[in-house]
Amino acid sequence: MTTGSETGQGLRSALDDDLLARIHARARDYDEENRFFAEDLDELRTAGHLRGPVPREFGGGGLTLHEVNRAQRELAYWAPSTGLATTMHLYWVGNAASLHRGGDRSQEWLLREVAAGKVIAAGHGEPGNDVAIADSRTVAVPVPGGYRITGRKIFTSLAPAWDYLGVHARDDSDPDRPRIVHAFLTRDAGVQTEQTWDTLGVRATASHDTVLTDVFVPAERVIDVHDLGADPAPAVAGIFTWVLPLLGNVYYGIARRAVDVALATARKRTALSLGDGPVAGKPFVQYHAAEAELLLEGILGQLDNLTTELTAGVDHGARTLTKLFAAKENATRGARAATDLALEIAGAGSISRGGELERLYRDVRAGSFHPPNPDTVRDVVGRTALGLFP
């Protein structure tokens, strides 16, 4: 994997070798202790990584979508949970920056807050909600000056650290015209974090439940309100352009690291049948190495092509969603398969608790659970191909 200064042509990344080495050194303990990556977050904030997409005029790095994706790929290579959770911050920031570049100043306040060190998180997951932001079990009640929000959000990555939580909720004040409200809320007396996150993988993300009880959101922090079933405004819809390639690159980074560790192991581990030569000499190992590399090359090419086109403003029209969904799905599915192959290459020692490959094997499993899940991907892509969607 390349160093931070080399992750993209002209990339002004804050991820230098020393920082990445420190982050990598902490990843094992975070996982074993099921502990939030607080030290990583502090260092990344100080280095300027969290404000990478913020325009330079506000004190950010001015990174493009393509550059941010390359940087997150590398961060996840060294620390999967850190790469994944910071992605939940960066996709909000990136979309706000895209809006600003397009002349929409509505989220300039958010860019300034991030430049000042604030952390943004996503509050879209809900128990039993399998349609993501298209509907909500969380209640939004209109009140003078804004809304009162009540509900439970699950999988809130960055739960211990966020300053603003981007949420959606349903306003049924007019039963004949239900509406979806998208807004940013801050921590107040009605916000409670329940320590629910104890999972197979990506443990350091601290993606606990967030319980909202009559939380006031002022009108100036509401970014969109639309009828149920209608398309959201770019302030919301634009996040897909950022989050889906970013998720793909995070899981590519995890798999790339797993395969690299496995290949290094195969070059060192010896076999009696080879006269104590390295197991890399076995055709079986060579075959699996080839299979893993073929998978990773396909993922890498698709992600880089997509983020290059998105950064350049290429418009794929009705196929845009297919391209975004396909990139995320192929990356997460292929990353899981490549990591499985990594364990075959490295041998039985790879399943030892505390070993890096065992941890990466667990971390990569989470990829298919990020919306859109495999079921939704196939529904949308299939209907699009047949001319039945939208």
Per-residue confidence band for 6, with pLDDT thresholds at 50, 70 and 90? very low
CATH for 373: 1.20.140.10
36 touches 206 (CB < 8 A):
yes
Which pLDDT belongs to residue 1?
59
Mark whether 191 and 90 lie in a shared domain. Answer: no
Smallest Cα–Cα separation from 71: which of 93, 92, 50, 102? Answer: 50
Mark whether 247 and 369 lie in a shared domain. Answer: yes
Amino acid at 53: P
The answer to whether residue 56 sits within a structural domain is yes
pLDDT at 5 over 60: no
Mark whether 127 and 114 lie in a shared domain. Answer: no
CATH for 129: 2.40.110.10
Task: Return d(Cα 210, Cα 153) in angstroms, integer.
Answer: 5
Mark whether 170 and 248 lie in a shared domain. Answer: no
The predicted-structure confidence for 269-324, as pLDDT tens digits, reads as follows 999 999 999 999 999 999 999 999 999 999 999 999 999 999 999 999 999 999 99
Mark whether 130 and 113 lie in a shared domain. Answer: no
The predicted-structure confidence for 45-69, as pLDDT tens digits, reads as follows 999 999 999 999 999 999 999 999 9
Task: Provide mean pLDDT across the span 327-349.
Answer: 99
Per-residue confidence band for 11, with pLDDT thresholds at 50, 70 and 90? very low
The answer to whether residue 390 sits within a structural domain is no
139 touches 172 (CB < 8 A):
yes
Mark whether 106 and 127 lie in a shared domain. Answer: no
The answer to whether residue 260 sits within a structural domain is yes
The answer to whether residue 222 sits within a structural domain is yes
Residue numbers of the domain that contains 222: 122-227
Mark whether 103 and 199 lie in a shared domain. Answer: no
Locate all alpha helices (DSSP H) within the chain, ordered by sequence. Answer: 17-33, 38-47, 65-78, 80-101, 108-115, 234-237, 239-268, 283-312, 320-346, 356-364, 374-385
The residue out of 195, 227, 259 marking a domain boundary is: 227
CATH for 68: 1.10.540.10
Which pLDDT belongs to residue 14?
86
Mark whether 80 and 182 lie in a shared domain. Answer: no
Domain count, the chain: 3
Mark whether 133 and 213 lie in a shared domain. Answer: yes
Locate all alpha helices (DSSP H) within 7-143, ordered by sequence. Answer: 17-33, 38-47, 65-78, 80-101, 108-115
Which pLDDT belongs to residue 8?
34
Mark whether 173 and 246 lie in a shared domain. Answer: no
Mark whether 213 and 157 lie in a shared domain. Answer: yes
The answer to whether residue 344 sits within a structural domain is yes
- Contacts for 46-50: CB closer than 8 Å, 24+ residues apart: 47/14, 47/15, 47/16, 47/19, 48/14, 49/13, 49/14, 49/15, 49/75, 49/86, 50/86, 50/89, 50/90, 50/93, 50/114, 50/117, 50/119
pLDDT at 97 over 50: yes
What is the distance, to the nearest Å, from the Cα of residue 227 to the centroid of all Cα atoms in its chain? 27
Task: Return d(Cα 331, Cα 337) in angstroms, integer.
Answer: 10
The residue out of 118, 153, 185 marking a domain boundary is: 118
The answer to whether residue 13 sits within a structural domain is yes
**What does the mean pLDDT of the chain come to?**
96
Mark whether 113 and 151 lie in a shared domain. Answer: no
The residue out of 180, 197, 227 marking a domain boundary is: 227
The answer to whether residue 280 sits within a structural domain is yes
The predicted-structure confidence for 239-263, as pLDDT tens digits, reads as follows 999 999 999 999 999 999 999 999 9
The answer to whether residue 233 sits within a structural domain is no
